[in-house]
């Protein structure tokens, strides 16, 4: 009986598992991920299947972008939205980092805070808007508070989970070398999970952008969300598309910023 030889699969550049692909292929695929949707968009808009009032062409959106820029709306609205996101997310990071580390390091702190945080994080942040308006008015405070509420709990739990994966050997070795509890927290646990903290911030930053738009849709005099709402009232879909693209580009740049910060501060985690 003739034995069949096992089939040997040829190595594939495109379908590599886990391993990196050549930089040229990486850049090509990244370019296609942006170009292809724009081409499909242009084809659909030019086909006449969808009225231009509902699906403006990329050219019309570009003209709307230039118009918003020349009238000063784009810069003013973008600055307002960035300020709200930065303030709300910074406050959430200041609270979530020590709280998450404490919950991950001490079972007593985790038992005290995890149940209530587990309940609060399932409450949709936009549902707090009526209360925030009643308590804080309609100025900047409720918008910043909404972003804080929508991100602080997720940041806290992600940081807490990161602490759980700190090797026990590191902690025991620190005790053996004469380290105390404070040194373990500040010199062992915090540096070890710092890449995870940055990654948690990078992931949850998207929620901040979603929430600032929601807040500005309801009560704001300026901001990209407010500009989208005004464009909706007059069915200016080209301005809506322009603002959405600006939101996406800013979010993508922030994501790249976090990745860059991770590379320069935590080389051991990315190499």
> What is d(CA 94, CA 141) in angstroms, rounded to the nearest whole number?
17
State the pLDDT confidence band at 64, using cuts at 50, 70 and 90.
very high
Give me the mean pLDDT over the 191-208 stretch.
90
State the pLDDT confidence band at 7, using cuts at 50, 70 and 90.
low
CATH number of the domain enclosing 199: 1.10.3720.10
State the pLDDT confidence band at 36, using cuts at 50, 70 and 90.
very high
- Check residue 209 and give its pLDDT: 87
In a domain, 21, yes or no: no
- Check residue 11 and give its pLDDT: 57
Q: Helices H, strands E: what count in the chain?
A: 12, 0
Tokens (6 digits) for 207: 């929620």
- Check residue 138 and give its pLDDT: 80
- pLDDT for 252-270, tens place per residue? 899 899 888 888 887 766 5
Tokens (6 digits) for 225: 């969300």
**Of 125, 138, 131, which is closest to residue 207 (Cα–Cα)?**
125
In a domain, 142, yes or no: yes
Identify the domain containing residue 162 by its residue range.
57-270
Give me the mean pLDDT over the 69-75 stretch.
90
- pLDDT for 96-107, tens place per residue? 999 999 999 999
Q: Number of structural domains, the chain?
A: 1
Check pLDDT > 90 for residue 229: no
**Of 120, 105, 140, 261, which is closest to residue 212 (Cα–Cα)?**
140
Sequence-ordered alpha helix ranges (H) in 48-167? 58-70, 73-105, 107-120, 129-136, 140-164
- Check residue 6 and give its pLDDT: 56
- pLDDT for 100-148, tens place per residue? 999 999 999 999 999 999 899 899 888 898 898 889 888 888 899 999 9
Give me the mean pLDDT over the 198-203 stretch.
92
Cβ distance 209 to 215 under 8 Å?
no
SS3 157: helix
In a domain, 233, yes or no: yes
In a domain, 246, yes or no: yes
Report the Cα–Cα distance between both ends of the chain, in Å, rounded.
Answer: 50
- Check residue 206 and give its pLDDT: 87
- Check residue 14 and give its pLDDT: 67
In a domain, 34, yes or no: no
In a domain, 22, yes or no: no
Tokens (6 digits) for 115: 């149940």
Q: Return the percentage of the chain with pLDDT > 90, whole number.
A: 39
- Check residue 207 and give its pLDDT: 87
> What is d(CA 54, CA 44) in angstroms, rounded to the nearest whole number?
11
């Amino acid at each position: 009986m003739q034995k069949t030889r096992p089939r040997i699969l040829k190595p594939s550049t495109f379908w590599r598992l886990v391993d990196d692909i050549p930089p040229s292929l990486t850049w090509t695929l990244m370019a296609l991920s942006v170009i292809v949707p724009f081409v499909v968009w242009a084809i659909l808009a030019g086909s006449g299947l969808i009225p231009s009032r509902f699906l403006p062409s990329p050219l019309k959106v570009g003209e709307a972008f230039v118009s918003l820029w020349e009238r000063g709306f784009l810069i003013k609205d973008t600055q307002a939205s960035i300020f709200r996101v930065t303030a709300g997310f910074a406050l959430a990071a200041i609270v979530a980092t020590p709280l998450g580390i404490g919950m991950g390091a001490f079972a007593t702190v985790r038992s005290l805070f995890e149940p209530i945080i587990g309940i609060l994080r399932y409450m949709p942040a936009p549902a707090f808007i009526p209360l925030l308006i009643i308590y804080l008015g309609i100025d900047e405070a409720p918008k910043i508070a909404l972003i804080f509420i929508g991100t602080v709990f997720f940041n806290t739990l992600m940081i807490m989970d990161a602490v759980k994966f700190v090797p026990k050997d590191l902690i025991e070795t620190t005790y053996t070398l004469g380290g105390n509890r404070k040194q373990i927290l500040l010199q062992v646990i915090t540096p070890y999970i710092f890449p995870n903290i940055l990654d948690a911030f990078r992931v949850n930053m998207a929620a901040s952008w979603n929430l600032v738009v929601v807040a500005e849709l309801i009560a704001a005099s300026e901001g990209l969300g407010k500009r989208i709402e005004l464009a909706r009232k007059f069915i200016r879909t080209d301005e809506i598309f322009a603002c959405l693209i600006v939101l996406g580009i800013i979010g993508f740049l922030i994501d790249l910023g976090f990745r860059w910060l991770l590379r320069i501060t935590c080389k051991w985690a990315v190499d």
